[in-house]
Structure 1
Amino acid sequence: MQDKKLSELAATIADPARHDPGDAPISISAGLADWMLAQKLSLAFTSYQTGQLIVAGVGPDLRLSFNQQQYARATGLCYDRGRLIVASMFQIWRLENMLRPGHYANNAFDMALVPRTAHTVGYLDTHELSVDTAGQIIFVNSRYSCLATIDDVHSFRPVWQPKFISALAPEDRCHLNGLAMDGGRPRFVTLAGISDEKDGWRAIRQRGGAVIDVASDEVVVSGLTMPHSPRVHDGALWLLDSGRGQIVRVDPANGKQDDVAFCPGFLRGLAFHGNWAIVTVSLAREDKFRELAIQEGLEERGLAAKCGVLIIDTRTGNVDHSILLGGKFTEMFDVALLPGVRNPMTIGPATVDMIGAVTIGNPAP
């Protein structure tokens, strides 16, 4: 990464208003609140272009409730046993629920997520992340082409790297971006192109993307275009073939691929709830869709690209529900489900509310 780029990122921190979405219009599909109540869950999602963490639930008035906070270049999300892990530009945050069971904040929110730790990792272009069986945060370090975990002294400790990556250098050689866990261990990763050169993936991103099995180091799916967000669900490997706009299911026994649903926008972030896939979609950067197959898919269907969250029935490929964002929102990143939570709220790390968010834990033994 050139110093100029780092300077641009630093300017974002110095002046968050540059990406303040303001009062952006939100379009909600009919029946979404009822669906969330019936499924007993709420949502968290990120927009790294505006630097927003957004949570959505159902308020006491039975209407959708949204809460958003500023996290510079917010990317990967992981909800783990009541806490939310959020990746941002140069830090990984751990948010804890400060409410005791049965308590409510402002007589409306049954979860109040407060930032308690921030691991400063520097600019690694952190993408997706998760928590393993040992409680370690495992994250995709795209800039250094590896999986990594946090370290008390250093920016990161490498956990795994593709066998074709000869050195850990800040060169985004293959654009490693997605992580699938299975049984609490890293199982699959997605990358945009098999390359050992700086930004080498950019020249081969058309059908150059792949899924790699972390345990065997072998390519298990190839010929993809800008793939993201591999997941193990219901006995299959799922992924987003983002350059084509498709949610794809792969049979791990024979490698057979099936397109499950076309989505109107660039796909990142994938979560499952039963037969539903929840994804985020984004608009094109400048006119970059013209270089990808997704543009043909949009034109064939007479669709325009959207920005927001889609809830898709994997049995039919239909979009059952959606949250569409307008205004300054153009790009989304990740989505996480908060099961058993009706109406969450968050407190931002650089807010007045954070100063007064004081709670008392159990006395030390």
Structure 2
Amino acid sequence: MKTPQPFSCTFTPHIPELLNQLNCSLVLSTYQAGKLVFISPKDNERLIQLPRTFPKPMGIGIHPVDQNKIAVACQDEVIVFKNSSTLAAHYPKAPQQYDALYLPRVSYKTNFLDIHDLEFGKDGIYAVNTLFSCLMKLSEDFSFEPIWQPQFISQLVSEDRCHLNGMLMKDGLPKYVTTFNQGDQKQSWRKNVTKGGCLIDVDNQTIITNQLSMPHSPKWINNKIYCLESAKGRLVEIDQESGTITEIVRLDAFVRGMDQIGDYLLIGMSKLRENSSSFHQLIPHIKNNRAGVAFIHLPTKSYQGEITYQSSVDEIYDVKVMHNCLRPNILHPNHPESKMAVDTPEQSYWQRPTNAV
């Protein structure tokens, strides 16, 4: 059998046309491959991808007002990028090819926090500090500024006690979080990953439900709470008063990473790690082991198709929609071209290459 090319994927035929109609691209983080991958419609029949190398990329945040600003949690830092459409149009390697170019603007040196979800809030950038079992704000003065922890966590230590991972923002502040259990010992959640997952109200420490299976990616959509149950491979709705869990759609894959555009949800799917004892517990529940992005039509609660990877991408953490953007690019701070761009409120410039004498 011929070895597939890097980042080879198949897709449901109407996906490119749908992305064109929605006027958007996708960006996904795959820490396993060390990449951010942009997926765009080349036309109504084809997709085009742009993988960019980042060290262990995890959570991706897009500013809710200024969609031109994004943040990416990496292995030991969070990098904030800003789009310059002017610089994109004149990108030296491919002029007039990209409609957005995200350039590094700020870097927060966090070191080994194992940051999962992160989002822009009304007064800063909030993130889930999974290693220390707390919510945090990014700080210019410290590795992190803790702002909240579950009441069952007795102290902030680097032990990933309950696998706090997901964060739902509401009105610019964290409102709900997801954890794998209510443990207060080092990696206590690993003992039984298929039971005991929680959705917790940040404001009053109320546990809305403790009946989830590896919950991830909680979202507030149309005044309802949606969440992914990774261990069961499904999207669920959670009643914020009773905690009742209602299945919306089952994908039979390890689901993690979710975003919305219009009536559609885009859901990341990851392959199970064959050598992981925790993932081994999921084998009876995951029937279709694959990596990619599924498209769900929320009003009809129906599966609409997917992008499925044949190579390079095995595990996805986050999926975000790039609104009003059909061909984005991003430059890591170490990328040579990122050091050649100058952007001001009035003008933008690319440095002209010079010949060494």
| TM-score of the alignment, normalized to the shorter chain, above 0.5 | yes
SS of the residue corresponding to residue 321 of structure 1 reads strand
Q: Which residue of 2 aligns with 1:337?
A: 321
Which one of 218, 225, 235 corresponds to residue 247 of structure 1? 235
Which one of 109, 113, 125 corresponds to residue 98 of structure 2? 109
The answer (yes or no) to whether the contact 1:195–1:201 under 8 Å persists in 2 is: yes
Which one of 107, 113, 120 corresponds to residue 118 of structure 1? 107
The answer (yes or no) to whether the contact 1:67–1:346 under 8 Å persists in 2 is: no
Map 1:43-82 → 2, pairs under 5 A: 43-59=26-42, 63-80=46-63, 81=66, 82=68
1:324 aligned partner, one-letter code:
T
- The answer to whether the aligner puts 1:308 opposite 2:292 as a matched pair is yes
Q: 1:249-293 CA deviation, whole Å, 9 max, x = no partner?
A: 11224332211111232111111223321111100011655412x
- Cα offset for 1:60? 6.9
SS of the residue corresponding to residue 243 of structure 1 reads helix
CA distance in 2, matches of 1:27, 1:337: 19
Which one of 291, 305, 320 corresponds to residue 281 of structure 2? 291
- Cα offset for 1:306? 1.1
Q: Which has the higher helix share?
A: 1
SS of the residue corresponding to residue 176 of structure 1 reads coil
1:349 aligned partner, one-letter code:
P
CA distance in 2, matches of 1:265, 1:62: 26
CA distance in 2, matches of 1:101, 1:327: 32
1:248 aligned partner, one-letter code:
V
Which one of 145, 155, 173 corresponds to residue 133 of structure 2? 145
1:37 aligned partner, one-letter code:
N
1:356–1:178 Cα change, 3 Å: same
CA distance in 1, matches of 2:328, 2:122: 26
Structure 1 residue ranges without an equivalent (≥5): 1-20, 299-303
The answer (yes or no) to whether the contact 2:233–2:285 under 8 Å persists in 1 is: no
Normalising by structure 1, what TM-score? 0.86
2:318 aligned partner, one-letter code:
D
1:170 aligned partner, one-letter code:
S
CA distance in 2, matches of 1:295, 1:315: 30
Which one of 88, 92, 108 corresponds to residue 78 of structure 2? 92
Task: Count the aligned residue pairs.
Answer: 336
SS of the residue corresponding to residue 305 of structure 1 reads coil
- Cα offset for 1:247? 0.5
CA distance in 2, matches of 1:61, 1:236: 33
Normalising by structure 2, what TM-score? 0.88
1:144–1:102 Cα change, 3 Å: closer
1:222–1:68 Cα change, 3 Å: same
2:211 aligned partner, one-letter code:
G
Q: Which residue of 1 aligns with 2:249?
A: 261
Give the fraction of aligned pairs with identical amino acids, expressed as a percent.
27
**Which stretch shows the higher mean deviation, 25-34 or 331-340?**
25-34
1:354–1:60 Cα change, 3 Å: farther
Q: Which residue of 2 aligns with 1:203?
A: 191
- The answer to whether the aligner puts 1:133 opposite 2:122 as a matched pair is yes
| Shift >6 Å, 4+ stretches | none
CA distance in 2, matches of 1:361, 1:314: 40
CA distance in 1, matches of 2:335, 2:221: 38
Q: Which residue of 2 aligns with 1:166?
A: 154
Q: Which residue of 1 aligns with 2:166?
A: 178
Structure 2 residue ranges without an equivalent (≥5): 348-357
- The answer to whether the aligner puts 1:25 opposite 2:8 as a matched pair is yes
**Which stretch shows the higher mean deviation, 152-161 or 139-148?**
152-161
SS of the residue corresponding to residue 295 of structure 1 reads coil
1:110 aligned partner, one-letter code:
D
2:289 aligned partner, one-letter code:
A
